[in-house]
Amino acid sequence: MSIANACYVSAMPVKAGKNEEARERTRQALLRAGAALFVENSQRNPFADLPLRAVCTRAGYSTGAFYANWSNIDEYHQALAEYLAAAADEEEFIEELASVEAYVAAGGETSALGKVIRAADRDFEALLESSLWDAMQLLNVTWGRTRFQQQMAFGYQQLDRATGEAYASVLRQLGREPRPPFDWDRIGVVLQGLIEGLGMRYKVDPASVPPSSDASPGLYATVVAAVLGVLTRPTGAKATVEDTLQLLLDPSPSDAENLAPEHEHHVLDDVQGDSG
C-alpha cells in the first residue's frame, strides 16, 4: 500500500459506535457461553481435576492402598460424592448443634438476647471450623442438584431439624415458642439458609461479616436474634408472624408511639409484653 493510500484509508470515517456495540455483544455472548459450560461441565463431574496420585499423596498412602478400596478413579469419585452427601447427617454436625444448649449455659448470660447471641456465635464458629463444609458446598452446586439431590435434601432436613432444636432448647427455657405458621423445623430451615449464605460470604470477604465483640454482637448473631424475635413469641401469646410483621413494618399510630426510641425494648427479652 502506498503512503497516499495509507493516508486515504486512515482518513476514512470509522463507525466506532456500531463496532464497539457489536464487539461488546460478542464478548457478552462468549462469557455467557463459558458460564453455562462451566456449570454443565462441573455438574457432569466436579471431581475431574482430582487425580488419583494427588489423593494418595495427600492421604499419605500408596496407590496400592487406593486400589485395595476402589478399582478406578471413577469409583472413588462416586464414593467421595456419597461421603459428602451423607456428611450433613454425620455426628460431627449434629453433635455440635446439640451441644449449643450446654455452651450457652456455660456462658452465664442472663438475658434472652445474650443467650441467643452466644448460641449464634458458637453455631457460626463451628461451621467455619468444619473441615468438610467447603467440599459440601461445592457438591451442593454440582452433583447435589443432579445425581445426589435426594441424598443432599435428606441431609439438609436432618440439619434443619437439629438447628431448630438447638435454638429451641435455649428459647423454651426463656418461655418462647414458634409463631404460627412456623415451627422449630421451619425456623431451622431459615437459620440454616442464613448461616450458609453468610458463611460463604465470610470465606470471600471476612470483613463483611464481623464477629461479636465485647462492644457489640456480630452480624450473624444480630440477624439470628432479629429473626428469632419475629419468628418466636412468649409461650401462650396469640400474635402470628404476620401480626408481628404488620406491627413492625406498618404500625398503627398507637403502635408507632410504642415503637418510638424512648419505648424501645428487646423483643426477645419481652416475655410478658407480647400478648397478642
SS3 222: helix
Contact 160, 189 (CB under 8 A): yes
Which cell is 54 given? 494427588
pLDDT tens for the chain, residues 1 to 276: 444 555 544 455 545 567 899 999 999 999 999 999 998 999 888 998 899 999 999 999 999 999 999 999 999 999 999 888 887 555 567 777 778 888 888 888 888 899 999 999 999 998 898 888 899 889 989 999 998 899 888 888 988 999 999 999 999 999 999 999 999 999 999 999 999 999 999 999 999 999 999 899 999 999 999 999 999 999 999 999 999 999 888 887 766 555 555 444 455 655 434 544
pTM: 0.79
Residue partners of 211: CB distance under 8 A and separation at least 6: 121, 124, 218
Rounded to the nearest 5°, which phi and psi values hold at 232? -125, 165
* Extended beta strands in the chain, E state: 176-178, 232-234
